Structure 1
Amino acid sequence: MFNKLLSNLPFNPSLIDQVSFYSKRLHKEAGIRRVGFAFVALAMMLQVFAVLAPAQASVSCDPSGNDIIQCGFRSKAEAINHCNRNDQGFGTILLHHGISCQKLASATERSVNSREYNNRLRSLGRKPFSKPGETSQNIPGVGNLFWRPLSSWGNFNSRVLQTQTDDGQLIMVMFECGNLVRLDDFQVRKPEPDSSLRVAKSNNPQGEVKSGDTIDYTLAYTNKGGPAAFFSVNDVLPSQVSLVSSSHGNWAFENNAPNLRWHNNVPPFYAFGNTDAFGTPGFITIKVRVNDRVPSGTTICNRAFLQDVPKGGTSPRNTSEVQVCNTVVVPCPNGQILGNDGYTCEVVPVPDAVCVSLMGAQANGDETSKKFTFTTKANTVNGATVSSYTYEFGDGTKKTNNSSSLTDTVTHDFPEAKTYDVSVTVKSSVADKPALTCKTKASIQPEEEEPVIGISKKAANITKQIADANGTTANANDVIEYTLTTRNSSSVDAVGVTLFPEDLSDVLEYASLDTNTLQGGVFDPETKVLSWNEKVNIKGGASITKTFRVTVKDPIPSTPSPDTNNRSAGDLLMYNWYGNPVEIKLPGTPIKIVENTTTTLPNTGPGTSLLISFAAVTIVGYFFARSRLLATELDLVKKEYTTSGGY
């Protein structure tokens, strides 16, 4: 139209009116296209902002309950608050992996791709999904958690807080869910254990000694656990000996006879480390002298123990004492016999007899052996004879050996580990007297044993009066009572035990918890975990039980067929594990298919939208510029034609 008007105008001047009309139309069209161009340009700017600042999910809550922090957090400060409050066990989980709340505060914010680090990233969650490479991890106070490759959720970017442990291992925390991310070679460093001290002792010579003899005591001490704070080696000398010397290296020695004490003299904590790292225990040697005028048959026992302050404690504690014993003898020349004072020999013109010594030795030299061999020595003069030896073992039992020998031996098995007073009375041809009785001690050290803790669970249907409801079917409104048992199957006491938590997430899908039956338990409504935080002591062979009740919901929730991601959901089973599995079935209900809630925003393709917007701006801008140009040219034609008259 534009070209036709301009080409015919010189031959038909009357067309100038049509040129004026067309010019006005072009001006209006340019105005409309100007508005369109402005809107398209504005839309393109919005797409640019969408690329530069991607949209964040307003609700990132995972309905499966896999999030460590349900719905995640929006800022580092919010994450630190979750840690300090230990919401849903978040602080406990971080600390188990070597990250304190203070260290989390120094973390840096960044975006991480699920396939970074050569696809070696692993993420932590509360629920199992049977993904390839998935492993479980038990964290005390939290329960079982699950690690799987981060890329198993797809190829995506996620905003994280990144920090590292004291030994340089990488840890990230995802904003959207609070789940931890680490590399596949991450090593959980166990907290330094408490010390485990033990002392052993030997004497040289063993058995019989005389007044004036010297005895060498050797103390060997070990630590099989963590560093022992304010550690010392302690020895208690018997009153019948005197200290000659002590060989203790560069350790400090305190002599407060009869109490002797050694420590390493390294303040402030005087710690003694794990001896396995050195490959040898520590040794201290003491030399003592048997005092004069010690009665024959006297048993002299030297005791030793170790002392430290337990981890987290303030008061010292002692290990079990160990002791070694010798028996003092006073030999008399032929024709003489020991007097009633026990240390002088007397010439006796008449027949006489005396018990010289009683010594005990454990089988194979094992300090924990309950089997002892006792040897008795007697002496006679001037034709006196011995007829029997009667032993009292201190455990309520006696034994008599009929023998005329001046030496007698007997074996005996003691019932338990402790120290027994053992005596023997020699029956002879002379009248009974105190000198015919010898005494000694038999000490049995307890075997080192650690507490063995086991857990078990059972369920009872109170409504139907079924004692063992495992594997049975429960109806709506049935009351189920769970009994959790924590047993110490060892013979030693377990001190400061934290009871294992109970994960009720699957049970509470179909039941309601009766919070009045928790017996001191604390229920976390977010994680569905029931825990008892107060530490308890369990004696050897004893157990502690905790019970609580749930009520099956009415109506029983109509759930979809089992979720492919969370197989425990929607299966009409109340299942959980506490040392053993317990499963209670529920009657079938009509399957209701419900919409799946998406946990991530759809991929709207901001890059593609930006490209389309650019093309639209270009096209609209072209037509706007073209309309404006044509209108301008027609205005010029009108002006020139009007002023020149068409010539």
Structure 2
Amino acid sequence: MRRVGFIFLALAFAVQLTAVFYPAQNSLAASPNDILSGITGRSTIVNACNANTNHIKDIFARFGVRCTNIVGAPEVTISAAEANDFWSIGRLQETSQLATGSGNHSINANGTIVWQRKLSSWDSPGQNSTYTAWRGTNIEGKEFWILKSCGNLTFKGSYLYTPPQQQPPKPALAVNKRYISTSSKGLGVNEVYAGDTLTYGIDYGNTVPDSIATNVAVTDQLDNNLEITSLAGIFHDGQLLIIEQRPSMGSAFYSENITVRVKAGTPAGTKICNQAKITSAQGGTSSETGLCVFVHAPPSTPTPPTPPVNPSCDYSKPATTECPHPTPTGYCVASSTVPGGSSRDVTVKTKTYLTNGGKVEAYKYTLDSSPTTIDKTGDLVHEKTFKGLPAGSHTIKVVASMILNDQRADTMVCPVAVKIAEDARVVQSKSVTKDGQDMNGKKVKSGDVMVFKLITKNITNTSYVSYIGQDYFGDTLNYADIVDRDELSRQSITLDDKNNLNWVSDVIGANSQSVKTVTVKVKNVIPTTNRPSNVSADYDCTITNVYGNQISMSVGCPLVKSISTTTTNLPNTGPGTSVMIGGLVAVTAGYLFARSRIMARELAIVRSNYVASGGA
């Protein structure tokens, strides 16, 4: 027994000695004012900064401190003495500040509110506490300290980093000139007669999202062989048309139509080109190669029939030496039109002009290399419709055969060129970024600010007019809020009661794109709402959005509350269980009582032996 007592005494002495060398620590593991708690070394701060734990990276960035500025920072000791004028930041507005005039003020650090005040405000008057910290310099060369006990950023004097103004992206201007119609009949798409009118469409705009062009001017230099007929409010200076003058232009496209006339008397074979330009103060200039047309010789007047040389001859009968038949002549003119309501069906109209008793036997039509079709008719004017022509240039060869007295006499060939514009088609795509980093497939947390981009790209050479866009945004709004509703208004985007984003793009130019941006912020308090059903995509701790492609981000949701059930009845254990429990308690108590009596008897024997041996 003495040995056992000695062992316990030695252990108690060791515990007391350890307490001397290792003083007591703070009973609180962390303070809510700490920028970061649980710091064991400089690597803790660096790793937390790289991972943006508790938005520490965002907070440090507001003061010009990058994660790389902390790597290699030496460990030093600083004093909170008033004369040193140290100012630190924390997460709380009011704490145990004993000093007066601490200058406590709030700062929005990229979405997280922190408070800056004098470091000495944590001390009692004259206390002058010292702190272990890591010292470094930020991107502006300003010296900073990060307190080891709490991760709070500290500067000499009240300080806030002012980032330089970001330059907007440089605009890229584009202009596209397209041919709409001409009053010419029976000619190809790039052929006109003198005196014909031409109508052009001009599409122009800025193709770079989020950029602004200033002092924008759109002009069109007309050829001297053209004269102005209809400008619909467009100004001109001689042959220079001033289509548009804008003080500024964002990312958008516009359209204007102009109608001009080929001057009378313009010689056949004249090539007439006309070109549009767009310029701005930023030097972004784009010039589209002008469209060109060729002046065609006017159609000749049909020669009147040659009068019979012998009135007594019956020219409906076979020719004889006394009554030879005059030679029939003729020509045809074919023109093409597009019927209303269709952009793929073309109707070819052929007119024939005959002399000397000739008659039309039939019309043969050959579309490109397709098989020839024959329409037998004697009509001098004939129409034929070709349906569903593919986009591109086509040649339709028309051959009108002529007969005289049921005998083949001659053929007339009149080809016509047809150009079918490509149907405008767009490709949709979407992206989401945070601080320029792609967030698709990653995890977001409360307070994260993200930018969604909805991209609609016209992949054809035809302008897309009145594109109607829609994107369901409800799944995103389950966990995030739109930061700036004016951002939607500036882009003519509306959010309906079903959480659909809706917009209309007037014109998406050929091979151009329209970009819409929506900035959202993950809610500070993430909802713990349960999913309405197993098949519902709402409140599934995932942000999913589809516009062309699908993007998905997981959300750091708190534990979902579950329904607890209570009972008002105790379990029916029966009398046997109660008797058994009572018996176990009685046995245990009896054992302990008996053992204590045995120990008392043993101690009495030990004491009598001790006295008998001469002890006191």
TM surpasses 0.5: no
> Higher relative contact order at CA 8 Å, sep ≥6: structure 1 or structure 2?
1
Question: Which is helix-richer, 1 or 2?
Answer: 1
- Give the TM-score of the pair, scaled to structure 1: 0.35
- Give the TM-score of the pair, scaled to structure 2: 0.37
